[in-house]
Structure 1
Amino acid sequence: MDSNRKHLIRATVVIGIGLMAAVDEIVFHQLLAWHHFYDRSTPAVGLFTDGLLHAVELIAVVAGFFMYADARRRGPIDRNAAWGGFLLGAGGFQLFDGLVDHKLLRVHQVRYGVEDLWPYDLAWNLAGVALLIIGRALLRRSRRDA
Structure 2
Amino acid sequence: MITKHYNLLLADDDEDDCDFFREALSETTIKAELFTVHDGVQLMNYLEKNGLENFPDVIFLDLNMPRKNGIECLTEIKENKDWKNLPIIIFSTSLDNEIVNNLYQKGATYYIRKPGEFSKLKTVIEKALKIASENNFKQPERANFILQP
Instruction: Tell me the TM-score range normalised by the shorter chain.
Output: under 0.3
Kindly indicate which of the two structures has a greater share of residues assigned to helix: 1
Select the structure of larger CA radius of gyration. 1
Kindly indicate which of the two structures has a greater share of residues assigned to strand: 2
TM-score (norm 2): 0.26
TM-score (norm 1): 0.26
